[in-house]
Structure 1
Amino acid sequence: MKSFLSFLLLGGCAVAAQAQTKPATASKAASYHLLQTTTVGGEGGWDYLAVDPVAQRLYLSHATQVEVLDLHTHQKAGVISNTPGVHGIAPVPKLGRGYITNGRSNTVTVFDLNTLKETASLPTGTKPDAVFYDEYSGRVFVFNNGGASATVIDAATDKVVGTVALGGAPEAGVSDGKGQVFVNLEDTNEIVVFDAKTLAVKHRWSVAPGEEPSGLAFDRAHHRLFSVCGNGKAIVLDSESGKVVAQVPIGKGVDGAVFDEAAQAAITSNGEGTLTVIHEDSPARFRTETIASARGARTIAIDPTTHHLFLSTAQYGATPAPTTETPRPRPSIVPGTFQVLEFGR
């Protein structure tokens, strides 16, 4: 995913929705509200987070390690270290293992879900980023943002079994559970569709007028993909035809999206400090709602059992003065303020 402060570099205003979208009325109660804020502490940046709904644990990428929280107590359950440039985490409860992408070492760390100990280290393409497990194929797909490819791991053997040439920089990916994988390409403004078993690329769909797509949410039941883009739009596509069915305004600095089946809504996490809730009233009608979160909370995970949402961020300090070497400096992160926000309905 993008730098955790990339939203600060974005400009412009949110665009108006198409005719089939409308904002939620002011009289409607917010569909999600903040339940709890948990301070984790430590220093450094962050990216993806992931939920293990069976063990009720939350995995947080944080600098060069993964912090693990118990979702019942919100206490730290452990740390997985030696994950340089960590981006994504994919716990797979049925296998008792999880997978972590390490952007600096171009590797995936395989770890035991019970002990949190590393069991293997596997090579990937350049700058592995997003990762997920596909139940249909029994494979783990690692999206190499710097290598324009996906590394494919057989989860039964933890061996690399193939590579998919994607033709662009991949961000988030999802599966339809029937053998197709969909992934955003942020530099070509496309969704690429490939076969989970043969690895053959089947389709390339434009997300125009969306630009720089990152997060990808999926309503499998109604065949709707929500590709969230850096120019303040979520593009809704039919996952069977690739047709764009709607464009919806969202907040600035988006990097993540999830779909809540219980609420029939896609939720985007926006680095400006908001959540955009896209209510799917029907496969052709959408309305939006904006909820305050916190500055920098740009990635999101959902617990499919409680339907709670989790975001990570920290507090910011002063921005250093520009220099020749760093003409656009980032705000500093206040040490010890790394935290998790939990939202519920």
Structure 2
Amino acid sequence: MNIATGAEERRVSVPGKPAGVAVHAGSGKFFTVSPDSKTVRRYALKTGDMEHALALDGGPIGIAVEPSGKRLFVSDWYNARIWVIDSATMALIGTLESGSAPAGIAISSDGQTLASADRDADQVSIFDLDSLQLRRRIGVGVRPFGLSFSSDGRLFVGNVGSDDVTVVSPETGAVLATIPVGARPYGIAFAMDRGFVTNQYADTVSVFDAKTLKVISSVDVGEYPEGIDATTDGAFVVVANWFSNSVSVIDAQTLEVVGEIETGDGPRAFGKFITAERSD
């Protein structure tokens, strides 16, 4: 869909109740994870054509593509691991050992660090992407699920069990702050030097200052908001409302909802789902 106009440009079939998504504009691809069918799929961004499907034997849910576009990472909820996949061939090339029930995964903007939210271990695992080695594990809040790196490299982790966001330094392992947010925080995005957090049970987005870490607003959105991402220019934040079958468009400066776009049934969009590239 076109965020500026609210128009749907294409609808693509993704079997198996898709949840995780990762767009990589540089390679012109996007990737999806369908937990029900245990399948990762690669699509052409311009046409929506499905190019490859990879069946996995565990519980795939979270997904991220490194900035170079060469490797794809998928969390395995059931087996405490992260699959490493060659994005071009869609072949499995390795695994990383995470904590119990890894959900969201995120990659730093410099492509050096990967983090997984290990929900049942109340921790995040930090990996070096050059060596694919574990750097450290950091205790966070209760049942971490979604997470995101800020532009300065800090890691922000949404804890669905303690209704807060833990801020950590991936480099030192230090816990820098805890930010109280709404009920069951799920996903996190950044725009205009602000952090935006979807609160599933509150039908809101909490907004905090990314420098002071103070909560500055709560924005009403649709029912059961999950996935959240910012436009490439940082002007808008887009929220997928699972139960409302819609996405809410928030002006990142005024914090007003400026659009509501209907979607198919049950949008989740767990990951990065916005690109400046348009389909044909």
Q: Please, what TM-score do these two structures have when normalized by structure 2? A: 0.78
1:139 and 1:116 mapped to 2: Cα distance? Answer: 20
- The letter for the 1-side match of 2:240 is V
Q: Residue in 2 aligned with 1:135? A: 151
Q: Within 1, Cα distance between the matches of 2:99 and 2:140?
A: 14
1:31 CA drift (Å)? 4.9
Distance 1:56 1:93, change over 3 A: farther
* Mapped contact 1:98–1:113 kept (Cα < 8 A): yes
Q: Give the letter for the 2:48 counterpart.
A: H
Partner of 1:185: 199
Following TM superposition, by how much is the alpha carbon of 1:117 offset from its aligned partner in structure 2, in angstroms?
2.1
Q: Residue in 1 aligned with 2:159?
A: 144
- In the alignment, structure 1 segments of 5+ residues that lack a partner are 1-19, 266-344
**Equivalent position amino acid for 1:171 in 2:** Y
**Highest relative contact order (Cα 8 Å, sep 6+), 1 or 2?**
1
Matched, 1:232 2:241: no
SS of equivalent to 2:114: strand
- Shift, 1:217, TM fit: 2.4
1:51 aligns with one of 36, 44, 65: 65
- The gaps in structure 2 that reach 5 residues or longer are 12-44
CA distance in structure 2 between the aligned counterparts of 1:85 and 1:41, rounded to whole angstroms = 16
Q: What does the per-residue CA deviation read over 1:97-117, in whole Å, with 9 as the maximum and x for residues that have no partner?
A: 221110111111111212322
Alpha-carbon offset, residue 167 of structure 1: 3.0
Matched residue SS, 2:268 = strand
Structure 1 residue runs of 4+, over 3 Å off? Answer: 20-26
For 1:245-288, what per-residue CA distance to the aligned partner results, in whole angstroms no more than 9, with x for missing partners?
Answer: 2211111222116111122x8xxxxxxxxxxxxxxxxxxxxxxx
CA distance in 1: counterparts of 2:193 and 2:7, whole angstroms? 34
Measure how far apart 1:144 and its partner are.
0.6
CA positional deviation for 1:79? 0.2
Are 2:178 and 1:166 aligned?
no
Alpha-carbon separation, structure 2, partners of 1:91 and 1:48 = 12
The aligned residue for residue 244 of structure 1 is 257
Which aligned pairs between 1:1-345 and structure 2 lie closer than 5 A?
Answer: 21=6, 31-43=46-58, 45-54=59-68, 56-62=70-76, 63=78, 64-92=80-108, 94=110, 96-136=112-152, 138-176=153-191, 178-207=192-221, 210-221=222-233, 223-230=235-242, 231-256=244-269, 258-263=273-278
Aligned mates of 1:135, 1:224 — CA distance in 2: 16
* CA deviation profile, 1:66-119 (whole Å, cap 9, x unmatched): 101011332212101243111011122637222111011111111121232222
- Structure 2 CA distance for partners of 1:72 and 1:32, relative to 1, 3 Å: same
**Superposed displacement of residue 199, structure 1:** 1.0
Shift of 1:121: 0.9
The AA in structure 1 aligned to 2:233 is A
Mark the structure with the bigger radius of gyration. 1
3-state DSSP of counterpart to 1:260: coil
The answer on whether the counterparts of 1:87 and 1:129 sit within 8 Å (CA) in structure 2 is: yes
CA separation of 1:161 and 1:246: change in aligned 2, threshold 3 A: same
**Partner-residue secondary structure (3-state), 2:273:** strand
Would the alpha carbon gap of residues 21 and 74 (structure 1) be closer, same or farther in structure 2, given more than 3 Å must change? closer
Between the two proteins, what is the percent identity of the paired residues? 23
Please give the alpha-carbon distance, in whole angstroms, between the structure 1 residues aligned to 2:151 and 2:212. 15
Structure 1 residues 146, 36: closer, same or farther in 2, change over 3 A?
A: same
| Contact residue 66 and residue 83 of structure 1 kept, 8 A | no
